[in-house]
Amino acid sequence: MINLPLGYARKIAGAMLLSERNGAIGADVGYDTFSLRTSRAMWSIAGAKITNTGKTADVASTQGHHIIEPLGFDVREAALGKKEEGGMIVHESTLAAFIKNPKAPHNHSEKLIPLQLFPEPYAHAAKRPGGPTGFNEPHAWGMTIDMNACVGCSACMVACQAENNVPIVGKDQVIETRSMHWLRIDRYYKSSGETFEEKLSDPTPQITYQPMMCVNCENAPCEQVCPVAATVHDAEGLNTMVYNRCIGTRYCANNCPYKVRRFNYLDFQSRIPGEFKKPWLGIPDTQQEESVDKIKSLVFNPEVTVRMRGIMEKCTYCVQRIKNVTNHRRIEWLDGKREKVTVDDFDVITACQSACPAEAIVFGDLNDPESLVSKQQSGARSYQVLQELNNRPRTQHLAKLRNPVKEPGEASQEKAGTHGAPTA
Amino acid sequence: MATIYSNPSTTIFREVDNTIEAPGQRAPLVVGGRNFTSVTDVVTDVNLKPAPLGWYIGFACAVTMLGVYLTSVAYLLTTGVGVWGNNNSVDWAFDIINFVFWVGIGHAGTLISAILYLFRQNWRTGINRFAEAMTIFAVVCAGLYPALHIGRVWCAYWLFPIPNQMAMWPQTRSPLWWDVFAVSTYATVSMLFWYVGMLPDLATLRDRTKSRVAQVAYSVVSLGWTGSCRHWHRFERAYLLLAALATPLVLSVHSIVSFDFATSQVPGWHTTLFPPYFVAGAIFGGFAMVLVLAIPAREWFGMKDIITIRHIDNCAKVMLGTGMIVSYSYAMELFIAWYGGNHYEQAEFLFRAKDGPYAFSFWCLIFCNAVVPQLLWFKKFRLNPWPLFLIANIGNIGMWWERFVIIVQSLNRTFLPSAWRLYWPSYVDLAMFAGSFGLFFTLFLLFCRFLPIVAMAEVKSIMPEAHAHHKEPHKQTADQAAGDFRPDEHHKPVRH
């Protein structure tokens, strides 16, 4: 039996109607399966013949970039010959184990050694016990991502793309693994079996979704290697990207352990997909202005810079939203309408956060002991991905807890806890 | 293996093997009965006689490849870095591989001209001029890569500390910025050293050429050299000082290039071993390139009496020595990965050698850089120029693969398995790499045509005639001195 998906393909698309140029976004995408679908047999065809045409087609899949089976931990484990349950990157455990020992999800991780490189006055006193010591004036922005709540729906990716003018690169560039999404959903699989081959053939692997975007390291490896100071830290802990200072050495992306930086290899914003590799003979700096379709430019979020070719970009924690809110709050504070200059919890909502149906993404001020993000980061499930590198990321992930029907080696059904995820 | 010795006065021809070490005797470094005049003749003939057909053919090929290079660069600049195969995980690939490859090749020239000068290694005189030229042209090829690999080339000047209205300054913690200085200093000092060393020889060409245009040109570039004692005195002082300046650069440049990798966090890059390992690798690759250039050159330009088999032998010995350091470094990288206990690094090296998609490249480099150079233990391979030519080429290929392994293999599998991606070069990558050889050989062939390819003045200084007492009655003439070099009793006198 062969299943054919319907939809996802178009011969002609909207932008094409507006532009005289061919090859507009969304045109000539996918394969037409409607010719097989008649009104007599809407859902299935019996007796269809399949012949091998001998042709091949490249499949462009952004998900495929991040799929881990069979290349993930199992490969690293097999290479090292030792077992890393859950691994260093994805912290997870069963609910029963978590109830017995709240540190269970982090059992296999390296120790966190929070070294402060610089003494006073560079390190500031924490504004609350256990809060960030540095880059905390007046806010200390932070985020948590709950891997327990994430269902991998990708709404956050779409929201981020719409908010931040993230370019659409087209099929050929996706095949070259140059998709520009600032936020990606990493999928880590865990399969049972002793040997590597057994693991590969496990029909029901377990999956963990780990949304990953710039984690705004306090001790950011990208900042130290940029020769032109195009990525620098601000006072509130944002790892800012100065687009018009960037010359595109790409060293930052190499040194980023999370690989969340995205480079504009071609003029993705102003050209039509499929035409990216046509030379531009004008003055480079005016390329965007002259080649962006005037109607297409109406699609852009006016509050976010549209990046040109040759520069690096990455998640900004939606800095435009942060600045909008903090500026208004500061004005209110100056006018005496407000007691504190800092924002309230949930005043600033990032695009990904607003789109998440499971409320897996929480953003806020880590200086505020009452903010949800502070509470979550003090919880037992919270951890820093790759914390052993001492990058001190401001985004922390919340470990995944599983509540399997049967524990391996246990006869009775596990009934610890209630249905659903416990709060940290 | 053997060279022919001729003494015109006695018309005795005798084979002299100047590769044998004989205690108490200096092996002659100029053979074939050459005297000062004939050394000058053989070197200046290359410049003053019409170029052979082979030169035109070679030059045409090189210029064609240069055209390929310039076309690729034009396409790159008008379109973006995306014409290469780099992607969002492997952000550096052919651009930095080729940069490190070319910078490495340059190192042998400076080592020969500066360090061997300070150590009084007289054999350097036969090969130092074209080795230095090789250095400069390799640095040109290398320096273009980082300049062209950035996304917005028109902003490249932001890397330099130029006071500007933007009130911006380079970020001095970045090893890339250290690179800018390391490479530009290296290029400047190498250029000066090369040029200053060439002054007496340029004057020789000026005096010998019969073309009016060449006379004017050589007069200008030889800066009024007359060969007076005062000129020679100042020349020697300046040369010594420049040698002393260039010596630390041999070690510093590639150390700083290695910092690009060593100071980063990437598993496989973050290694304290890198500076000495890179320097040794650079000298290994550089001497391989010297041999690749010297072996055909001595054949085609009739320089076998000046670039003798002893020179070739010495270069091969340096290749063997540095090759052993590099092999030790490969072993030590693997050992430290195991001993250090960092599981990311351990996995990285296992991917490199065993499970990774580019494991073949690791074994390529082990074969080329660690296995094949072992042949150089045998004198048979060191003294046979054409097998040695092959070994040297393999060494160069191996050094290229070494940089491929370090850069692409390490970036291809970093910390998060979700970001593991393959890299494959685009045709523009390949065209630019091939084209950079066109740039190198265009410059090199122009150098061969218009500049003295052997340091005549220096070669003469190591001939016996140059010694103060050689004319005293009880002393020998140069020819006799060379003729009396009898390290073994297998010489075969032949009377004509």
Per domain, the residue ranges of chain B are 1-35+463-496, 36-462
Q: Give the model's confidence band at B109: pLDDT under 50 very low, under 70 low, under 90 confident, else very high.
A: confident
Residue B380's nearest CA partner among B290, B319, B309 is: B309
Structure tokens given for A316: 């900004």
**Searching chain A, which residue's CA lies closest to the CA of residue B166?**
A245
Residues spanned by the domain of A122? 62-402
Q: Annotate B295-319 with DSSP letters as a single string.
A: HHHHHHTT-TTTS-HHHHHHHHHHH
Q: What is the DSSP letter of A312?
A: E
Query: What is the model's pLDDT at position B472?
Result: 56
Q: What is the CATH number of the domain that holds A263?
A: 3.30.70.20
Which residues on B lie below 8 Å from A311 (Cβ)?
A: 151-152
A144 forms beta bridges with: A362, A396
| Cα gap A112→A110, rounded to integer Å | 6
CB contact under 8 A, A277 and B175: no
Query: What is the model's pLDDT at position B11?
Result: 43
From B74, B176, B350, residue closest to A251, measured CB to CB: B176
Residues 191-220 of A with CB under 8 A from B: 210, 212
Amino acid at A175: I
Q: What is the mean pLDDT of chain B?
A: 87
Can you tell me the ipTM of this complex?
0.87
Residue A231's nearest CA partner among A260, A207, A202 is: A260
B70-88 pLDDT, tens per residue?
999 999 999 999 999 999 9
Q: Is residue B150 scored above 60 in pLDDT?
A: yes
Q: Is residue A107 scored above 90 in pLDDT?
A: no
From B158, B173, B422, residue closest to A224, measured CB to CB: B173
φ/ψ region of A205 (left if φ > 0, alpha if ψ in -120 to 50, else beta) reads: beta
Query: What is the model's pLDDT at position A420?
Result: 42
Query: What is the model's pLDDT at position B2?
Result: 45
CB contact under 8 A, B355 and A79: yes
How many CA atoms lie within 13 Å of B343's alpha carbon, on the beta-carbon side? 21
Q: With contact defined as beta carbons under 8 Å apart, do A146 and A26 qualify?
A: no
Q: What is the mean pLDDT of chain A?
A: 82
A108-134 pLDDT, tens per residue?
666 666 666 655 555 677 888 888 888
Which residues on A lie below 8 Å from B357 (Cβ)?
A: none
Residue with tokens 């273009």: B144
CB contact under 8 A, B343 and A173: no
A314-325 pLDDT, tens per residue?
999 999 999 999
Q: What is the DSSP letter of B354?
A: I
Which residues on B lie below 8 Å from A186 (Cβ)?
A: 416, 418
Average pLDDT for A90-94: 84
Q: With contact defined as beta carbons under 8 Å apart, do A268 and A180 qualify?
A: yes
Average pLDDT for A17-40: 68
Query: What is the model's pLDDT at position B473?
Result: 53
Report the CATH number of the B36-462 domain: 1.20.1630.10
Whether A45 maps to a domain, the answer reads no
Structure tokens given for A97: 């184990």
Q: Is residue B480 scored above 70 in pLDDT?
A: no
Q: Is residue B24 scored above 50 in pLDDT?
A: yes
**Searching chain B, which residue's CA lies closest to the CA of residue A67?**
B418
Residue A180's nearest CA partner among A68, A14, A315 is: A315
CB contact under 8 A, A265 and B81: yes
A92 forms beta bridges with: A400
CA distance A171 to chain B (A): 14
Query: What is the model's pLDDT at position B122?
Result: 85
Q: What is the DSSP letter of A137?
A: S
More confident residue, B220 or B5: B220
Whether A386 maps to a domain, the answer reads yes
Average pLDDT for A278-297: 80
Disruptive mutation site among A187, A219, A255 for chain B (greatest number of B CBs within 10 Å)? A255
Could you give the percent of chain B with pLDDT greater than 70? 91
Highest average pLDDT, of A27-31, A273-277, A320-324, B451-455, comes from: A320-324
Residue B417's nearest CA partner among A361, A257, A182 is: A257
Q: Annotate A348-381 with DSSP letters as a single string.
A: S--HHHHH-TT--EEEEETT-TTSHHHHHHHSTT
Rounded (5°) CA angle B65-B70-B71: 95
Inter-chain contacts counted by CB atoms under 8 A, chains A and B: 193
CB contact under 8 A, B264 and A188: no
Say yes or no: A99 contacts chain B, CB-CB below 8 A: no
| Cα gap B186→B253, rounded to integer Å | 7
CA distances in angstroms from A299 to A292, B226, B229, listed in the order given = 11, 74, 78
Q: Is residue A424 scored above 70 in pLDDT?
A: no
Q: With contact defined as beta carbons under 8 Å apart, do B291 and B388 qualify?
A: yes
Average pLDDT for B188-199: 93
Whether A16 maps to a domain, the answer reads no
| Cα gap A300→A313, rounded to integer Å | 16
More confident residue, B355 or B460: B460
Helix or strand run (H / E) with residue A55:
none
Which residues on A lie below 8 Å from B149 (Cβ)?
A: 249-250
Number of domains in chain A: 1
Whether A383 maps to a domain, the answer reads yes
Q: With contact defined as beta carbons under 8 Å apart, do B126 and B31 qualify?
A: no
B26-80 pLDDT, tens per residue?
777 888 777 888 888 888 888 888 888 989 999 999 999 999 999 999 999 999 9
| Cα gap B82→B426, rounded to integer Å | 9
Amino acid at A83: K
Query: What is the model's pLDDT at position B76?
Result: 94
